[in-house]
Structure formats: structure tokens, C-alpha cells
Amino acid sequence: MSTGELPIYESLIRERGDVVEEARVVAEETQHQMSQALNGVAVAPQETGAA
């Protein structure tokens, strides 16, 4: 099923942003950081912009 068949979903993305995509990006970044940490590579913390 494509998002073309889900007008409510498309409307929510326009109003609220694509939370699923944002979560995927954060999960990938976290996985990369944890992989580096487990390999002994120091990772500087990044600001998320949240106040």
C-alpha cells in the first residue's frame, strides 16, 4: 500500500512532519555511534536542538 492511498497520513505529514522518517534517521545515527563506541572510537555528543 503506497502513501498515495493514505490521504490522512499525507495530511498528518504536512501538518506535523514525517515523524517516522525522523525516528529512522535518529536510530541510524545512534546505531552508528554505538558501533563506534563499541570499537573504541570516541564520539563527541551532538546537540539535538531540543530545549
pLDDT tens figures, 7-19? 888 888 889 999 9
> How far is Cα 49 from Cα 3, in angstroms, rounded to an integer?
29
Q: CA Rg, the chain, in Å?
A: 16
> How far is Cα 32 from Cα 45, in angstroms, rounded to an integer?
13
The stretch 23-32 carries a mean pLDDT of 97
25: nearest Cα among 1, 4, 46: 46
What average pLDDT is seen over the chain? 82
Full-prediction pTM beyond 0.95? no
The band of 1, judged by pLDDT with boundaries at 50, 70 and 90, is low
10 within 8 A of 3, measured Cβ to Cβ: yes
Place of cell 555528543: 45
